[in-house]
Structure formats: structure tokens, C-alpha cells
Amino acid sequence: MGNAAFITVGLNPTLQKTLVFSEIVPDRVNRCGDSRFDVAGKGLNGCRVLSQLGKKCIHLTQLGGSLRQVYLDICAREGLEVTWVESGSDIRLCYTIIDRVKHQITELVEAGEAAEEGSESRLLEALDKLLPDAATLIIGGSRTAGLSDNLIPEMVSRAKKSGLFVIADTRGGDLLNSLPYKPDLIKPNLEEFAATFAAGKSLDKKSAASLCREIQEQYGCSIVLTRGAQNLWYTETGNLEEFPIEPIEALNTTGCGDAFTAGLAAALHDGASLREALAEGARCGRLNALSLKPGSIQISN
């Protein structure tokens, strides 16, 4: 295993089936015109995009069940480096359904199976071995059942103690409980941000700015709020700024947020300002949207 500048953590591994239809007609047999089968999930998508950007990255996850070797074989074919621990948890299957006539992209997401006892301690042991040679830790997505709400905050704590730059692309209790350990940047989308900090209430820019200011004053982190195809909001000095997102006709939006985070992290690692890094993140998100393959900036139709 080689040294890696980046560690991505994904605690709910995914095998993603993408099905493309010229048009979906309800209550009929619909036959797809194109399909693909990929490894996916927030952390894995980020690792793939970082690798495509020429960065050295290791993905840390838990694996189990009959599809584990399928997952690892696909990663090996793509040259993705994975550190995994046994969890006894079958890998979930998720689906992207694309209707090209209606320009609709629908995601169907399974819940992950519960990880067996001991998986959490094995994940932390594996992380400890990776930290000394890394510069940036990216934690994204949900935890599968059986992993406690202490796990992600503990990972943030250990990474910060080791001097890493930490990006938390999480939500809810995982994000709230991580903030006391001061991740450098948090990157929920606006809906996740509202659910985490505003009891799910709709947030306009003024109310979001007020919340961001409070969080930044208390924890010192930069904040990036993605808003799908709309301009994103961000803050690093107390004021909520806006960054333009170029409108495009997307082929597949699955993994766009993960591609954005990877581009952002790569640029920050290379010394870019936050706004410069947002431009690289937006570029990677846009390339992902133009590719049928999820979590990829190499155009694949």
C-alpha cells in the first residue's frame, strides 16, 4: 500500500446500477436502451475523481457479504486503492433511472445492512494506520446500521489530532457531533443544512447566512452549501457569498456532489483559495453530470 495524500471514508458502500430509457411509460414493460454497473457511494466516488485528477487516494470502508469480491474486483480494474474491514454487512444496491425524453433522473437507494459487532473498532484501527502519511481526510455520506453515532466524530477527532485537513460532507447528528472537533470545512447541501441546523425549515439566504455566521464563530470552519443546479453559497470570513453554477443539460447527476467535493479538496490541497477551489469543484461536478458513469469526470456515454 502506497502513501496517500487523501483518505476518503465511506461507511455505506454501494453497487450502483444505472438504467437508461428512451421514455418510461407507467404500468408497462419498459426496456432500457443502455445500462452500466459501478462501484459507488460518496467516499468511493470521491476517491475515483481524486484519482482521475492525478491524486493519490485511499478509500476506507467496511465490506461483507456475497458481493464483496465483486466490489473489490471492480475497484481493482479501475486502479482504486481500498482499505476495508470485515463487517458481515451485504453491500447495498442502488439504482439510477434515467428517462431521456422527460429529462428525469431518479435515484432509488437501499438502506445498508447492519455491520457486525467489532466493525467500528476495526475501522478506527485501519484509519489510525492511514493517518500518518495523509494530508486530507474526506468523510461523506451515511453510516450503515450497527455503526454508532460516535464513529464519525471520533474519526474527525483523530484526523485533526494528526494534523490533517478535514472535510465533513455529512449531516444530522454525524455533523453536529463532529463540529466540536473542528473540521476545517463542512459541505452539506442546503436541504441537509436546514435539516441539521434549522429543524428542516426552509432557509433563504439571509437566514442561512445567520446560521453560518454562528457556526463559524463557534467552530471556525469554512462552510459550503451546494444547491443542486443553483448557485452555491459559501463562507470563510463570516459573510455568506454566492458562487455561480453554469447550467447544463445533465446526462446523469448521480455523484455530482461527490465529484464537486473531490475537485474542491484537490484544489485546496494544491494551495488554491476557497473561491478558486470552488471553481475546480464546479468543473468536476459539471463533468460528472455529462458522464453516464456516476462519480467520474471522464466522459462516458
Q: Dihedral of CA 206/218/269/257: which sign? A: negative
- Is the predicted pLDDT of residue 184 greater than 50, yes or no? yes
Give the side-chain half-sphere CA count within 13 A for 31.
0
Q: Give the DSSP H or E segment for 9.
A: strand 6-10
Q: Which of 164, 82, 83 is nearest to 129 (CA)?
A: 83
pLDDT, position 200: 84
pLDDT band for position 300 (50/70/90)? low
pLDDT, position 112: 87
pLDDT, position 1: 37
* Helix (H), strand (E), coil (C) string for 165-213: EEEEECCHHHHHHHHHHCCCEECCEHHHHHHHHCCCCCCCHHHHHHHHH
Distance in angstroms (rounded) separating the CA atoms of residues 15 and 37: 7
- Is the predicted pLDDT of residue 2 greater than 60, yes or no? no
Summarize the confidence of residues 155-174 as an average pLDDT: 97
Rounded to the nearest integer, the mean pLDDT of the chain is 95
Q: 202: how many CB neighbours lie within 10 A of its CB?
A: 9
pLDDT, position 159: 98
- Buried-state track 204-229, b at ≥16 Cβ within 10 A, e below 16: eeeebbebbeebbeeeebbbbbbeee
Q: Could you tell me the three cell numbers for 134?
A: 495523509
Give the side-chain half-sphere CA count within 13 A for 235.
21
Q: What is the pLDDT of residues 31-47, one digit of tens each?
A: 999 999 999 999 999 99
Q: What is the pLDDT of residues 211-263, one digit of tens each?
A: 999 999 999 999 999 998 899 999 988 789 999 999 999 999 999 999 999 99
pLDDT, position 3: 64
pLDDT, position 229: 87
Could you give all domains of the chain from N- to C-terminal order, each with its CATH number? 6-289 (3.40.1190.20)
User: For residue 11, how far is the Cα from the chain centroid?
Assistant: 11
- Give me the torsion for CA of 162, 167, 171, 173, rounded to 10°: 10
Q: What is the pLDDT of residues 76-132, one digit of tens each?
A: 999 999 999 999 999 999 999 999 999 999 999 999 899 999 999 999 999 999 999
What strand order describes the sheet that includes 57-64? 81-90, 57-64, 6-10, 136-140, 165-169, 185-186, 222-227, 230-235, 241-243
Let me know: does 13 contact 71? Beta carbons within 8 Å. yes
Longest distance between any two alpha carbons in the chain, whole Å: 56
pLDDT, position 185: 98
Q: What is the pLDDT of residues 13-30, one digit of tens each?
A: 999 999 999 999 999 999
Q: What is the pLDDT of residues 197-207, one digit of tens each?
A: 999 888 999 99
Q: Supply the DSSP symbol for 161.
A: H
3-state helix, strand, coil in the chain (%, to 5): 35, 25, 35
pLDDT, position 236: 85
| Comparison of pLDDT for 238 and 278, the residue scoring more | 278
| Comparison of pLDDT for 24 and 1, the residue scoring more | 24
- Is the predicted pLDDT of residue 155 greater than 90, yes or no? yes
